[in-house]
């Protein structure tokens, strides 16, 4: 991904998230209450901030695009349900029971590939923007399935942003050195530590966060891609041929299956930003099946294949992979395609760094 984006940047193209916003001023001293659903920036710690799948047609219009993050030390995940384009719902997912808890909506843009879950799945760091005063864009930590900020760092543009959990209490923040000050009204828990994300912290777009998360979680880049730019009237701004390929071996059993993510293009007109196909291959790279135009896919801790398409989440049990017509046995877990924006207030327990709260 790094080489593809750098190639494009050398041609003068700014990839996703390069917002045109006024220079941020230090105007954080405000008493307005933050409301996550309306997309206002938080100002107080205590306020809210060629194989077809049976029954699935190719995407013709958005039914809500899904992207998930899986906690590395717990059977938990969060799902970002985006749609319309500037409204995002956060959903908590218990991977043991496939129970889902729908949390807060955000009226704005969340850059899901610059987000991360803590190892326990109890904390989320995310990068958001609404292009409104006082912050325009910011990185925040919350307790899923809520987006109400426990800590908030103003950003002001869409270069960089977001962060990584190196442990439950250490965060690498993708901000420049002059962007590390918390907004007024916020403070860290006593045992939480913040560091910058390397020497070029605060720059890039989905990379470097997405690349680092993929590598940490067991993916490796098996093929570099070559980006080709197209004209303004083209249905896609960039095609990547050959595609950029990331691969991840199933860690359960004998590791005989590999999931491949093929990134074929960027900025599809009236479509997703990334054009991605997922493939499952055997140990000698024979194609078993292909998930075309799929929003997201990954291996579960159990070895099952999880994937999202057309606003729906599916589970294909590991034992069914390699069988004839295996995709027909994929189980629909939840259909989020019809969800509509609504106001949701976080409970008081979700506005505290520690402690349990009942959902």
pLDDT at position 1 is 57
pLDDT at position 58 is 40
Angle among Cα 141, 145, 151 to the nearest 5 degrees reads 15
pLDDT at position 349 is 93
pLDDT at position 3 is 52
Q: Which helix (H) or strand (E) holds 9?
A: helix 2-10
> Which residue, chain included where needed, has tokens 């801790």?
301
pLDDT at position 232 is 86
pLDDT at position 5 is 52
Burial class (CB in 10 A: 0-12, 13-18, 19+), 356: exposed
- Asked whether the CA dihedral 31, 37, 42, 48 is positive or negative, the reply is positive
pLDDT at position 186 is 97
pLDDT at position 326 is 80
| DSSP label of 322 | T
Q: Give the span between the Cα atoms of 226 and 234, in whole angstroms.
A: 18
pLDDT at position 40 is 45
Residues in Cβ contact with 49 at an 8 Å cutoff, skipping those fewer than 6 apart: 34, 35, 36, 40, 41, 42, 140, 142, 147, 148, 149, 152
Q: Give the span between the Cα atoms of 15 and 204, in whole angstroms.
A: 9
Reference 128, options 142, 143, 112, 116; nearest CA is 112
Domain ranges of the chain: 2-21+35-337
Q: Are strands 170-173 and 193-196 parallel, antiparallel or unpaired?
A: parallel
pLDDT at position 325 is 74
pLDDT mean values, one per 10 residues, the chain (359 residues): 49 36 35 41 36 35 86 98 93 98 97 98 97 96 98 96 98 97 96 94 95 98 95 91 97 86 93 94 94 95 96 95 83 97 94 83
């Amino acid at each position: 991904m790094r080489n593809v984006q750098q190639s494009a940047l050398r041609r003068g193209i700014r990839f996703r998230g390069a917002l045109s916003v006024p220079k941020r001023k230090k105007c954080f001293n405000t008493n307005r209450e933050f409301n996550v659903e309306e997309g206002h920036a938080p100002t107080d710690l205590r306020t809210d901030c060629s194989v077809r799948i049976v029954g699935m047609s190719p995407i013709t219009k958005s039914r809500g695009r899904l992207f998930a993050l899986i906690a590395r030390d717990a059977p938990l995940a969060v799902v970002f349900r985006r749609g319309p384009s500037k409204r995002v719902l956060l959903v908590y997912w218990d991977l043991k029971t496939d129970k889902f808890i729908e949390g807060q909506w955000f009226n704005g843009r969340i850059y899901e590939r610059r987000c991360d879950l803590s190892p326990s799945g109890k904390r989320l760091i995310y990068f958001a923007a609404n292009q409104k005063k006082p912050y325009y864009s910011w990185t925040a930590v919350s307790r899923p399935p809520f987006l109400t900020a426990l800590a908030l760092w103003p950003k002001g543009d869409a270069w960089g942003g977001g962060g990584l959990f190196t442990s439950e209490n250490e965060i690498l923040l993708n901000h420049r050195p002059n962007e590390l000050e918390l907004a007024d009204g916020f403070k860290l828990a006593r045992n939480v530590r913040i560091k910058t994300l390397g020497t070029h912290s605060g720059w890039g777009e989905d990379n470097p966060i997405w690349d680092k998360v993929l590598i940490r979680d067991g993916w490796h880049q098996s093929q570099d891609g070559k980006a080709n730019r197209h004209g303004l009237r083209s249905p896609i701004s960039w095609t990547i041929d050959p595609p950029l390929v990331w691969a991840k071996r199933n860690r359960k059993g004998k590791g005989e299956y590999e999931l491949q993510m093929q990134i074929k293009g960027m900025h599809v007109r009236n479509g997703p930003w990334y054009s991605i196909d997922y493939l499952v291959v055997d140990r000698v790279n024979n194609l078993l099946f292909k998930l075309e135009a799929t929003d997201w896919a990954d291996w579960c801790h159990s070895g099952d294949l999880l994937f999202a398409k057309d606003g729906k989440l599916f589970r294909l049990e590991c034992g069914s992979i390699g069988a004839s017509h295996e995709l027909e046995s994929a189980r629909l877990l939840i259909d989020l395609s019809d969800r509509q924006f609504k106001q949701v207030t976080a409970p008081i327990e979700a506005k505290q760094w520690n402690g349990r709260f009942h959902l």
